[in-house]
Each structure stands twice: as structure tokens, then as C-alpha cells.
Structure 1
Amino acid sequence: MKGKLTLCSLLLLSLFAMAQNGETLDTIYANDQKNVALFFPNPIRQGITGASHFVFNYNREKEQYFGLLQAKPGTESNLLTITNDGQVYSYILKYADRLPKLNYFIAKEESIGNEKTIITPISQNQSITENIGLDSKSSNYQKLCAQLLKNQRNYTQIKQNKGIKVSMTKSIYHDKEVYVVFEISNNSNIDFDINTLRMIKTNGIMKRRTSYQEFVLSPIFRYNVPKTVPKGSKIQFVYVYSKFTLGKHDNLILKLDELNGSRDVVFEMKN
């Protein structure tokens, strides 16, 4: 899966739509001569810029309250930041030779919302088939996903942690979408409650923080996704994504987070 991918991910687009009452986002100015410091009310968990000529650096190994922004000349872009309490902050970015401010102290009231509001609630012990804004195609998605679960395929990516095993098939391309079949096996003695399952595109090398960025790939359709995987059982389900490719320095990471637990599973996918 080599090629180009739009830097502004689907997550960026969906979160911009959540800006309260359509209010205009504040603008932060940066250049390549000085560091612009952004101080948040809670430690930063994730920071994403919409264009490569803006770079937002923050400590990915140990959560800290501030990040540093630099920019090269180019068109305006945007910054999306999520703190460890799930609060989402979004700003317009512009290059400027002269900077009006070098330090921004951001209040919690500037948040456009919490990331948990993006996840559709699921009733207890109920699996879901979720269509996100694509009603006209939902029937076709359901048929294709159901067929994929009927046909046994080899799982090429497998990772486990504390009795929780995540397996996935190779990406299956159809029309303008990518289908991925997942299987979660719970070999522990405790039920596993799913918080989120995210596929993340990374660009660059993490050790070189000035060039490393992460982009969440949001599914456009989810089929048979469980809320809970009971102990001693396994469940298969399907995620459908818009077609994407990976560039030379791009990789994919899969993250399964447990709700109110620490049995998370994280692994870098093989190309």
C-alpha cells in the first residue's frame, strides 16, 4: 500500500465539524526562526497538523503540558490537539515573518469537545453494525461484510497481550473502499470491554520528533463490532475504510484499548 495519503485525516474533518455553533477557530502564527510554545490545561496525548510545513513537537514518551510549533512558508493549515482527559482543541495555523505571540496559554474552555462524543454509544452486550453518513451504501456494505465473515481467510497480523489476541486479514480492496476483517480472542478469565480500536497512519521516524506525525484513519462503516468479548470466546467483525495507500516513510499502527483496564494491544502492521 504505497503512494500518497491526504495529510488531513478523516478524524480532523469530523472534529472540525464539531466546533460549537460554527464559531471561527482562533489562529496561531508560527515561522522557522522561533519556537511558538502552546501550554495546555492537561498533558498532550496527541497533536496533528494538517500540512507538513507546520510541525508540532511534543513529548510522546512522557506526557507534558506544552508543545512547540514551527512553520515554513506555505498556505494556512490547522492544528488538532487531544489532551489526556480526551478534550479536543483545534486552531488555524498561519505562517508569519513577524509573530504576534511566542507563548499561548490555552484554557480548558477553548476545547471544541471531547473525543468520547465522537464514538457512538453501544448498549450493553450488544454488537453493532454502524453506518456513518452513508445510508445509500449501507445495504451493499452489509452484504459484503457478511460475505467476508462467511469466507474463512488467513490472518496475517497477530498480536496478543495478557490473554487478549488481535488478528487481522490483509486489506481487501473493492471499488473505492478497503475492507479489513478483525478477530479478537479473549483467552483470559475476565470479560474484555472494548473502548476503541484505531488504525493509525504514521509518517516519519518517532525518534526524529520534528518529522514524525500520526493520523487516525476513521472507518466509514463498521459491521458486527462487539462491545464486549466474553472470556474464553472470540469474535470476528469488519471495518470499512476509504481507499488509502502508504508512502515510502509511512506505516500503520493498530491500537486496541480496553475500557477501564490495561490489557491494551498495540502493534505496527507489516506491509
Structure 2
Amino acid sequence: MRTFILILMVLISAFAKAQQQPIPLDTIYANDTKNVALFFPEPIRQGITGSDNFVFTYNREKEQYFGLLQAKPGKESNLLVVNRNGSIFSYIVRYKKQLSKLNYFIPLSNSIGNEKTMVTDSIQVVTSERNVDNRTYYYQKFCSYLLNRNQRIGRIKKRTQGIVLNVENVVFDKEELYFVIQIENNSTLDYDLNFLKLSIETRQKGKRKSLQRLHQEPIYKHRLPSKITEGKTVKFIYVMPKFSLSEDRRAILELNEKDGERNIEMKLSHRYINNPN
């Protein structure tokens, strides 16, 4: 009996030590030319990468079982995914130029744990706050990805007195349009930004033709500068709610200098808005 108790104590001690040891994380490889699909046992509620050179996209409006991973060259990072039922999955993610695997079917046994149950009265508030935080976090990650992406929608430039306004790209994702904007200061004076506005201009038909402008407020601004020093170039992004334009409408981008006259007004044809990347 005493021998049995000793054996039992050794097994319990070994099990406790094993539980304290960190669980080794699997590695998922991705690159910037292919989408790597991750299929989970339950719909994805949240997915976060630890570095800007990795982007994990999934449907935030309608929960689905899969997400897509892309990567830019850089240091390895991690991916944390939470399913609808609270199951947590964690992976090391690395960039790899040549991929041998594009689809990962992840079993529930790969879960590293489960979230704690929330108090019933606080579910609605916590969920609402999480949705806002998740949306902002997604905008940050996707904007960082676009700024590192070498893609252009065309040569849309306008300049005045050494200041160059350039719309490099217009990208559609989920329910938003991302305007990738660049300002070059080739003058010998710093440029203090007063505002940059995006408006929709409509040509009124009739005997007395007139123009009507409706200002569009961005839902998120990424790296918008307050000053562009002489000889420098800055790039930033405006995230707008999705919209389209008829042939009698166009978008207007207004760049205004604080306490100065180096202002630029750029017209964007409906073709660029209706055919984003």
C-alpha cells in the first residue's frame, strides 16, 4: 500500500511539473503574394498579430470559421485568435518567400485555453467596447500594411509652390475605402497643415448650373501629420465609409496650409472611386 502511495505521489508531481511547462507553439508561414487560410473549429471573434508586418483578416460583420494571413519580410511575431466559444489559439508566425502550405485546418485540441465567463450584466457593455477596440486595431494594422505596400491606382498629383499632393492608392476592404495620400514638401519652408478635407461635389443640372459640395468625415485617420518639414515627404491614410459616384459627381480633396497660402484642391474622378484596388 505504501509503495502504491509513493508511486501515486510521483505521478502527481510529474503531472504538476508538466502542467507548469510552457506549451510549445506551432509556426505558421506566410508571405505577401499569397493568402494563407486558417480554418478554426468555431467562428472567429477576434484575431490579433503582434507586428505590423503581419496582417490577419477575418469577417467582423458576420462571424466565419476562417481568416487570411499575409506577411511582409521582417522578424517573426505571434498570432492570437479567439473563437466565439472563448477558445484561445496562439501561434508563431514567420515570413517565408516560398510556401509549401496554404491551408491550415486547426482542431479544437490545439486550443491553449478558454476565456473566463463574463458577468451577465456587463456582457453588452464589454462587447460594445471590444468591437470598437477591435475595429480601431484592425484599421491600424491594415493601414500599416497598405503603407508598406508598393501599389498605385494611377498618377494623381497636383502641386503648388513646392508642395505636392498625391493620392497613391484607393483600396476597398470590408465596408471602407482607404485613401493612401502623400504630401511632398520640396520648398524651403516647413508646411503646417491646417486641414485636409474630402468632399463630394455634385453638378446641379438646369438652366443655372451650380456645384454643391458635401463634406465626408473620415472614420479613422492613420499617421496624419501636423507639419511637413522642408525637403520631407509624408504618407498617411484616410479611412472613409464605402461610397460610389455617378458620372455627374466627383470627389474633391482640399489641402489647406495654416497661416499660409499654399493650398491645393484636387479633383478625383468617379472612375478612381468606383474602381478601387
Higher relative contact order (CA 8 A, sep 6+): 1
Q: TM-score, normalised by structure 2?
A: 0.47
State which structure, 1 or 2, has the greater radius of gyration over its C-alpha atoms: 2
Q: Give the alignment's TM-score, normalised by structure 1.
A: 0.48
